[in-house]
Amino acid sequence: MTLLRTALLAAAFLTTSAFAQGTEGPGGATAAAPTADSDAPEAKEAKELLNKYLTAVKAKKWADAKKFLHPRTIEAIAERKKRMGKEDHPMAPWFHEKTDYFMKEFKVGAASLAPLGTIVVETSEDNYQVADKGMANGEAAAYLVGKKDGKWFVVDKKRGETFSKDSVKIGYKGWFDAVPKKEEAAPAE
């Protein structure tokens, strides 16, 4: 009975942690739909942060890039390394640079407001494919950016697709600062 309970708990943990793991490749994923660019101040901040993060990634300044990652993302990368023996995670570009791909250029695109006070920022990326010894230009990606302890962080990445409202609500519950509820306007007298 104890072994069965342990197996069920392990399966439940792995299932819930899988929501917050991003995707590594487009494998059957749908391409990101064009998004209207939000003019909210938060969207501008998220785009600026993502630009700094991607600049560090492009320069292969891994210590600098890690400073922009959400603390729970760092934990998820460490958990994958412990479980799988490698840091195979979409937010661990240092892992992919020697065997899979590395970024040569990027363009930050539209940003849209998402659940839990987060922002989804679309990008176009040119990546050098190590095995093919060639470029893959204009690859679509989406990054989730959110606030923790009053500071913006890059949270996760999806290649060739974007984050749905439900994936953010369910997969990242408890990751971000509470969003103040909008006060209802007082009726006019």
Distance CA 164, CA 156 (A): 13
DSSP 161-189: S---HHHHHHHTTTSSPPPPPPPPPPPP-
CA distance linking residue 39 with residue 34, whole number of Å = 16
The SS3 assignment for 153 reads strand
Q: Could you state, in chain order, the average pLDDT of each consecutive group of 10 residues for the chain (189 residues)?
A: 44 42 39 61 96 96 97 95 90 89 94 96 94 92 97 96 95 92 54
Task: Return d(Cα 43, Cα 38) in angstroms, integer.
Answer: 6
DSSP of 20-33, one letter per residue? GG--SS-TTPPPPP
User: Which domains can be identified in the chain, with CATH numbers?
Assistant: 37-171 (3.10.450.100)
The verdict on pTM exceeding 0.75 is: yes
